[in-house]
Chain A
Amino acid sequence: MKVICNRGALLEALTVAGNVVAARTPKPVLQCVKVTAADDRLTIAATDLEVAIRYSDSQVQIEQPGEALLPADKFRDIVRESVDDTLALEVTGDTANIRGQDSHFKIFTQKASDFPPVPDFEGDADLEIAGGLLKQLIGQTLFAAARESTRYAFNGVLLSAKGKKIDLVSTDGRRLAQAKGDLISDKLPKEGAKAIIPSKALTLLDKLIDDPEEAVAVQVRENQVIFHTSSATLTSNLVEGQFPPYDDVIPKDTDKKMTAATADFLSAIRRAALLTTEESKGVRLQFSKKGLVLTSRSPESGEATINFPCKYEGADMEIGFNPTFLTDALRVVDSDEISLELTAPNRPGLLKGGPNFLYVIMPVNLQ
């Protein structure tokens, strides 16, 4: 294999692919990226056996097609630290030579045939969604997914698509986020499709989408989901197990409602949160006709009281929330105004920002 590469484009490809490579793996071949030079482009493939990526770099000049396995980190570091605009990559036998004007790196390669197959996108998309919308939906839900699952399969995001509509739902058992949108097209069966996508895959997908206008093609299979953007194909196993019955926990009988400007409410919560600690993370919200008073206390530092005038309908009520759970959501709301609907101090609150985003948050016990 012999190919001249634009260094910037190659670095981008290796960085993206590098995010897929597992930090620790018992199989040395998985610490590599598979580099294939053919058809006027360089394809960089990487996998951790759960998520796989094929990244296409066309800013290359192929003098001799071929393929090789190179250590992902080393290769990327060499390309990053080099100073040339272009680098020459030549593989003979089991050695890869990377040459710049003043430098020559020789690194050992592994057998390409040892590398697991990394799927390409084949056939029709089940659905197509605008890149910008997909990024927004991910941004509005990914943060609320659980870090690791104990009971339910909620260390991922539930994707549901039906009748040219899509929604993503995520939860960690204490708060839940749901974001909706319209698809560009769909070829789904009548009942639609559902899949729980691991958080890692969505984080990677988010980084892959450059152009908000581009159409991202998606295929949903029994155990896998495949995303295709203009530069890459990302495949991921689905999270196995049951997603919790989320519709059941979205409050439907609230009798109290606050409305406020998103930015102002966010500021009030952030200020109140200044005097909470990791150990006692709760802000008290006292609602009345006069508006909202937020208070917080940190046994070692002191306390804070924030008066927040806002519109409030319903009986007076006091409720406590983890402020981070509130600010997480307020940051991703894309409307200027939000509403917070409540029922009782031990029942969930429902935050809405625009018609396409809702967020359910369980309170904390105030002592």
Chain B
Amino acid sequence: MQATRSILHVDMDAFFASIEQLDNPSLRGKPVLVGHDGPRGVVAAASYEARQFDCHSAQPMSVAKRRCPHAVIVPVHFERYRQVSQRMFVLFDEFSPVVEPLSVDEAFLDLTGSEKLLGEAEAVARRLKARVREELGLTASVGVAPNKFLAKLASDLRKPDGLVVVRAGDVDALLPPMPVTKLWGVGPATAERLRLVGVRTIGDLRNRPADVLDRILGGDADRLLRLAHGIDDRPVVCDREAKSIGQEQTFGIDVEDAEEVRRVLFEQAEQVGRRLRKHALSARSVSLKIRFGDFETITRSTTLKEPTGGTAELWAAACGLFDAWAAQSFRPVRLIGMTAAQLGAHGAQMGLFADPADEKQKRVDAVADRITAKFGTSAIRRGGGLS
């Protein structure tokens, strides 16, 4: 029986839109829609002011404009958001070595066992929010709970700039009235199947007999029932112990320019390389994920001759996969991502014969990592990466 854990879920508020308002003071207090202003455009993010008008992300831009005709539409600035995200993660690292990035603006932090050093989790959460505000000029909503599920639920309860603590004792009052879709793994299809047997809320789920749930949910029944009681044993997996390390980027619109996709992929290769090197890991395989506007998703993988943590090798593998696909079948891309897998501390084994080219590459990576850690990703650009 494990001791009670202390998990934080940190979720930046209206990330893209907030950054645009930070960078452009004339946008503050106004409804802002981040995305492409065209007939097929999609909202990548909506500021809280725009949300009052029922605008939200992933909505077609045409619908958002109808609901909020006076909203300011701002194009997506990927690089800038990534720069802020990078600094955000550097900040999180100060609070815990166990940080699991979930997306560009969300992470779990495991504070278990650090009470002596940092204090009670709630106080730590407050300090973290204050630091985010001071250093990034943005607000975050934080959930504090004994597990990931409850922490993520909590961070959502009072947005923006919220701080919600959920304790074991709160679960029975909090969960039952909530819709069953709040359980992770229950999407529209499962929710519909459950609705047909009279399960709409988490409370309904708890009360259904086990055999009914087994029939509807199959092997997942156990896990979902445990979640319904607020039990979630998933560990917070930081990069160091991760099975894979990846980055992915969803565009607000279908990107028609292959070069632009490649540019984002290059940034991802740099990020992945940085994260690998930070934990002295190297990867044996690299995969690419591409999603299109119709949600069809393809993946391509390759295994490397030698495990690597170097940006140049990761980029060579990733763009090799991308170019091979693009040459035959390029079509507009909605999401691009790359993952480095089959990780190991291979980086630890030293070599007898120093390869001058290899050594130079390692030195370049090491210097780039130090500059980036201090000044953010746009402080340094690699040459030759885009050829």
Contacts and interface: CB of A to CB of B under 8 A. Distances in A.
Contacts of B353: 151-152, 173, 244-245, 249
A102 interface: no
B123 interface: no
A346 B352 contact: no
Contact of A362 (B241, B345, B351): B351
Interface stretch (A33-41, A45-53, A274-282): A274-282
Contacts of A365: 280, 347-350
Most buried by A among B345, B348, B352: B352
Contacts of B348: 280, 282, 320, 364-367
A299 interface: yes
B305 interface: yes
A174 B351 contact: yes
A115 to B, nearest CB: 34
A199 interface: no
B343 interface: yes
B111 to A, nearest CB: 20
A7 interface: no
B355 interface: yes
B146 interface: no
Contacts of B355: 151
B344 interface: yes
Nearest to A175: B352
A320 B347 CA distance: 13
Nearest to A171: B352
Interface in B314-354: 343-345, 347-353
A148 B306 CA distance: 10
A151 B306 CA distance: 12
B344 A322 contact: no
B307 to A, nearest CB: 10
Contacts of A281: 344-345, 349
Given A151-B355, A280-B344, A365-B280, A174 B306 contact: no
A158 interface: no
Contact of A173 (B344, B347, B351): B351
A148 B305 contact: yes
A198 interface: no
Contact of B344 (A150, A278, A362, A366): A278
Interface in B42-65: none
A193 B345 CA distance: 40
- Residue among A245, A279, A299 with the most chain B CB within 10 A? A279
A255 to B, nearest CB: 19
B345 A279 contact: yes
A366 B348 CA distance: 7
Interface of B: 241, 280, 305-306, 343-345, 347-353, 355
Given A174-B352, A362-B352, 19 more contacts: A150-B306, A152-B353, A171-B352, A173-B352, A176-B352, A244-B353, A279-B344, A281-B349, A322-B349, A348-B352, A362-B349, A362-B350, A362-B351, A364-B345, A364-B348, A364-B349, A365-B347, A365-B348, A366-B348
Q: 4 closest pairs, A vs B, by CB?
A: A279-B344, A365-B348, A364-B348, A362-B350
